[in-house]
A and B are shown apart, each in its own frame.
Chain A
Amino acid sequence: MKNHNSRILLAKPPFDCHDIGAKVLAVVLRDAGFEVVYTGQAKTLDSIANAAIQEDVALIGLSILTDPPVPIVKEIRRILKENDANDIPIVVGGIISPNDRNILKQRLHVAEVFGPGTKFDTIIGKIRNLT
């Protein structure tokens, strides 16, 4: 699958209004040269996966603070798989417990988990490596 290597999707799951991180990161990544598609609070989890496919993104960034991350990422992976798009790397930021971090990385193949306090340069660098 051909991806624009500088276009990324930043999304928040439905109901997740803690959006400071996502909104700030959208601008920081944009300033670092990425083309950022920011969904805001998505209407449904489907719409996140569909947007990633339609926009032909090189990476999906999920900002998850309100609700537990594992069921959300699991569902998005499922929809991507259904649509033959499971090779798009996923990174997750937000409130992630150590236990959830392991599940996300080991079982759900999330490429990076960015916890609170991660430096912008670190995020930019790691996303560059993935795209």
Chain B
Amino acid sequence: MKNQTNGEKEGLYYTYSKIPLKPFYCGEDISEIHSTVGKPGEYPFTRGLYKTGYRKFSWNQRQLTGFGLAGDTRARQEFLFKSGQKGYGDDAALTVLFDSPTQYGHDSDDPIAKGAVGGCGVAVDTLKDVEDLFQGMPLDQVSIGMIIEGPATVLLAMLIAAAENQGISRDKLRGGITNNSLLNSYCCKNSVFPSSKLLRVVVDLIEFCSKEMPQWNSIQFSGYNFSEIGAIPAQEIAFTLATASAVVESCLERGLKVEAFASRFMFLMKMTLNIFEEIAKFRAGRKMWAQIMKNKFGATDKRSLFFRILSYTAGSDLTAQEPLNNIARVSLMGLASVLAGVQSLYLTPYDEALGLPTKTSQRVSLKIHKILEHEMNLTHVADPLGGSYYLEYLTSEIEKQAQKYLVEIEELGGLIPAIESGYMEREATKRMLQIQKDIDSGKKIVVGMNKFVEEGAPDLIHAHTHYSEKERVAVEKLKAIKNTRDNLKVNFCLQNVRKAAECADNLMYPIIEAVKAYATIGEIMGVLREVFGELKDIPILADSA
């Protein structure tokens, strides 16, 4: 953006992150960094993880899906498979979103869940719901993604139990779970437990997977949510890396070897329309993580150094006004992600600002993937933007900015003290206030919303409809399960969950036994909340600008 006071005379221009910009860049601007940039597939992987880029495998092409009850979501998954949703290469794949009560560890019959059951994701209360969610789907033949933070242990346990009921052992399961409670504790706040307890719960899951599930991604550090509340690219990277480093330390403290878990980390990062800075951010992330893993933690196995990226195209860059314009926005962000060499890409549906995605909008997103993959000759050469004077300059600048934030976190006493001090939220909230004021005043142009606005009727878009009778059905289903299960066994299992929580035993084992007995999410999380306490949302408001 232009510096409004000096811009006209002095020609001072800046990026969104306030990095100063020249009118153009050339060799001498990157002469110092040029020699360090390297090649795709070579440490520190600035230019990409793989020498062959996308020649062997395309990126993952999944739509995040979940609504209503298990059957509704199951049917939508079939539609998505037919529309071209897939994992690496031609692998079948899907990713599930859970409803609010499930995300926060409550059951559909909990009074607090009133009005929210099946609203923003699929309602899951017991193992039966997960079995229904994957009805008829052989779980060793699909890569399963699950977006869930506080109750991640419970959902993973349910998946394991559902697979075992299909005769499939847990080590055959492929996919991943976000388990992103740490970063979400100051953004979405669906971490359930207080900050001081999160490392324990998060690492229990990672430790369990390192021993029992070699093909499962045990955590997806997500800078996306933090970026959505106002963080700049360098902050998104820095706080994501700080979180990941804290988790590595915690794993090592438990005696795990770095090779046992690090290759199963993923990083869910935001892509916006500010594409050059975002691509630079991804590159800086790859470089910094590889260096942290090698120099700080002594990892030698190549895969332990990989900053594997799921690029999540920004919901906040889309508009409710003229939603068809969002197809262009998402396509451009998708292109930038592919040029950046990401492993997985989520193309936000064009009706994101209107409600849950419809079949049409999800299908359009999947077709954008196919156009990127098959019509643009993008997959033949790795890192096509490598060596761009501007991009290499930006990558280096973002890395420098991110390093400063890493130092600030250290000065605050490390990750958990920094989170508890409110520092992260305060930083982001301050910036977001200014951004919203700039949009309100028209200084920041949003096409179709505050400039180039259509008078008259908006685009006619069919938005997803929510049926509140789903809540009644879910409550009845739950009642039936509670009446037919062995309630003595459930109580016994819950006692074991409590015992494990009170000492240092890994929570996954007793939770798996509990879900097999059809204990509910609310019951299991209820026990854990009693032992660990509960995360409170204490909002931090910005001062006036």
Hey, which bits of chain A sit against chain B, CB under 8 A?
13-17, 19-20, 23-24, 26-28, 30-31, 38-41, 43-45, 66-68, 70-72, 74-75, 95, 97, 115-117, 119-120
Contact = CB atoms under 8 A, between A and B. Distances in A.
Nearest to A123: B440
Nearest to B466: A68
Interface in B54-94: none
A20 B229 contact: yes
A70 to B, nearest CB: 8
The listed residue with most B CB atoms (<10 A of its CB), out of A15, A23, A27, is A15
Interface stretch (B27-35, B516-524, B534-542): B534-542
A8 to B, nearest CB: 14
Given A15-B100, A17-B188, A28-B437, 19 more contacts: A14-B112, A15-B116, A19-B539, A20-B228, A20-B229, A24-B433, A41-B189, A41-B537, A44-B111, A66-B116, A67-B115, A67-B119, A67-B120, A68-B466, A74-B115, A95-B354, A97-B354, A116-B321, A120-B437
A15 B118 CA distance: 13
Contacts of A28: 437
Given A41-B189, A41-B537, A24 B112 contact: no
Contacts of B229: 19-20
Contacts of B188: 17
8 contacts: A23-B429, A23-B432, A27-B433, A27-B542, A27-B543, A67-B100, A71-B115, A120-B440
The listed residue with most A CB atoms (<10 A of its CB), out of B353, B355, B541, is B541
Nearest to A69: B115
A97 B320 contact: no
A116 B436 contact: no
A95 B354 CA distance: 6
B429 A67 contact: no
A75 B112 CA distance: 11
Contacts of B111: 44
A95 B542 CA distance: 23
B96 interface: no
Contacts of B119: 66-68
B544 A68 contact: no
B309 interface: no
B100 A23 contact: no
A119 B468 contact: no
A90 B444 CA distance: 30
A41 B104 CA distance: 12
A15 B319 contact: no
A40 B104 CA distance: 15
Contact of B116 (A19, A67, A117, A119): A67
B541 A27 contact: yes
B353 A15 contact: no
Contact of B353 (A17, A23, A44, A95): A95
A97 B354 CA distance: 7
B103 interface: yes
3 nearest A-B pairs in the assembled complex, by CB-CB distance: A71-B115, A15-B100, A40-B539
Contacts of B187: 17
Contacts of B440: 119-120
Interface string B311-353: 0000000011100000000000000000000000000000001
Contacts of A71: 114-115, 468
Contacts of B538: 40
A100 B463 CA distance: 12
B355 A45 contact: no
Contacts of A119: 440
